[in-house]
Chain A
Amino acid sequence: MSALLACLVLPLLGALAAVALPRRAVAAVLAGVVALTLVAAVGLAVAVHSGGVVRLALGGWSPPLGIALAADGLGAAFVLLTALVMAGVAAAARDEMTPQGAGPRAAFGFWPLMLLLWGALNAVFLSRDLFNLYVGIELLTLAAVALVAIGGRAEAIAAAMRYLIFALAGSLLYLAGVVLIYGAHGTLDIDLVAARDAAAPDGLALALMTAGLLVKTALFPFHVWLPPAHASAPAPASALLSALVPKASFVILLRLWFEAMPDLGTDRALLLLGVLGAAAILWGSLRALVQARLKLIVAYSTVAQLGYLFLVFPLAGGAAGAQPWTAGAWTGAIFQALSHGLAKAAMFLAAGLFMAAAGSDRLGALRGLARVMPMTAFAFALASVTLISLPPSGGFTAKYLLMTSSFAAGQWIWALVMTLGGLLTAGYLYRPMAALFAREGGEGVQTVARARQAVPLVLAGLAILLGILSAAPFDFLQIGRPEAAEEGP
């Protein structure tokens, strides 16, 4: 319980401290806050693992008057993912977000924004109240938009503005749904909403909230804001935005469709979500194939990889509730979110190092860099293995689970889309790899310290480990799993 509170409070206190304290004290305080929050996240995961779901009613007020927080397997896994990625990004940003390297404004603003983002993410992963979730994703949006704009270049500001317009529209749609739910049922607690008597506005409310969250998750066709925003932020910020931010709205979608209102998951609505996910896989991959800049390739790859997450809805949602394959599909989608988070963070951090060395992220400028920076190039290749979902990576486990459940469910079309997506992923990642591992080139680039190169390697290695040790996280994710996705025989 104290670990749960620490996960929420420490990053917010750290963000305040990063603004208020004098410059020299900040570095030590930041290191302490990052380390303590990482410890708290591990502690929370251990508590959930040994004792089941950790619950907390804020101020001793239980719902419907108070706000409930709870860490189930799903929430705790994402809190742990966030802590690992944040620790990696913080280590990378110590060298990258310096007043000399990134400009004084970005060097000052990055740290409080990063910690605010962390606090908001944990709040979303642990909250059980629909309005509290609204406040969480709004805080997340504001911190994320500011992280895009922090570089200060004209294209970054325009990308941040476009992101803000999309994200605010998404928030208002979500808020409209929350208002309808409260008007009909007088409660916003997820467990109480799940036990409600069905009312007329429920369908409209769920549709509004889902539409708003799809915009924030950047699902096709609402993805247009994502690639420019993620590509024009500084590399450590891109790593956070791509690896973690869309996962928050996806977790809320899971909570809505599997925990709060599973009874509303009609076949047609679930099919629509799946089709949009499949379209995202294909369209994002095709767009990634034709980009000339590494960061844009990686950003469009995020659009494609987020599509896989939405295959969970037709495979595990609604009336299919108690089918034998739903556990596999539900866990597979979460595995995909976790392994993509680790691999994408590694990829963007590696891209940042390549840019620091070559001065540009155009593919032509990257030729032969693997000979100068073998460690970073290897990290990039390892992260690619997860995204292409070759065994034994976490991405392989994810797609294996999704694919076997799509065959078991008789919906083989999703397996076909996943196979195509895997081939396209290999295709668009081949181009940067071919440039990196080219025989010529690599002369006259800046050298990058080995300690900096280690960070993406560790993150990419964790994504592989998630596949090798997949049994333990599989069981962990089942803790407190909603009934709608309960497994059969």
Chain B
Amino acid sequence: MAALSIYALTGAALVGLGFFGLLAARHLLRRVVAFNLIGSGLFLYFGAAATRGAAPDPVPQALIITGIVVALAASALAVALVVAQVRAAGRATLPEEEDAP
């Protein structure tokens, strides 16, 4: 049980780090990384929290794999948009936040 709570705590910490990154970072690539941190944290927490008793539950594993595929697709689109944004505007921030570092 102790090992499990370490997984859950790590997952929760990743979610927290990701949210901090989402709020604090203006560079769009950092935000994409932040989204991935939150997603990974949630999946880790999912795997840990859904374990009951001795036998592992296969359903969360299937869902996590599906979720990772979805997150990969979203990240790919996000990175493509960041590249397009840099090509169109010359910088990797949103127009209303351009005074940012």
A146–B77 touching, CB < 8 Å: yes
Q: Which of A179-187, A237-245, A269-277, A382-390 contacts B (4 or more CB under 8 A)?
A: A179-187
Q: Report A120 CB to chain B, min CB distance, Å.
A: 12
Q: Are A182 and B89 in contact (CB under 8 A)?
A: no
8 Å CB contact of A172 from B39, B50, B63, B82 = B39
How many chain-A residues does the 8 Å CB contact rule pick out? Answer: 33
Question: CB distance A175 to B42 under 8 Å?
Answer: yes
Q: Which residues of A contact B60 (CB under 8 A)?
A: 182
Would you give the shortest CB distance from B47 to chain A, in whole angstroms?
A: 10
Partner among B22, B45, B78 whose Cβ is within 8 Å of the Cβ of A164:
B78
B77 touching A164, Cβ below 8 Å: yes
Contact A145 B38 (CB under 8 A): no
Size category of the B interface is 20 to 34
Interface residues of B in 26-75 (CB under 8 A from A): 28, 31, 35, 38-39, 42, 45-46, 49-50, 52, 57, 59-60, 63, 66-67, 70, 73-74
Instruction: Count A-B contacts at CB 8 Å.
Output: 82
Instruction: Please tell me which one of the listed residues B28, B38, B63, B94 contacts residue A131 in the complex, with CB atoms under 8 A apart.
Output: B63
Closest CB in chain A relative to B36 CB, distance in Å: 10
Interface bits A79-116 vs B (CB < 8 Å: 1, else 0): 00000000000000000000000000000000000000
The interface bits of chain A over 115-156 (1 if a CB of B lies within 8 angstroms of the residue's CB, else 0) are: 000000000000000010011001101100110010011100
24 CB < 8 A contacts A-B = A64-B59, A134-B70, A135-B66, A135-B70, A138-B70, A139-B70, A145-B77, A149-B84, A153-B88, A154-B88, A158-B89, A158-B95, A161-B82, A164-B81, A168-B78, A172-B35, A172-B38, A172-B42, A175-B42, A175-B67, A183-B49, A183-B50, A186-B50, A186-B59
Q: Which residues of B pack against A, CB within 8 Å?
A: 15, 22, 28, 31, 35, 38-39, 42, 45-46, 49-50, 52, 57, 59-60, 63, 66-67, 70, 73-74, 77-78, 81-82, 84-85, 88-89, 94-95
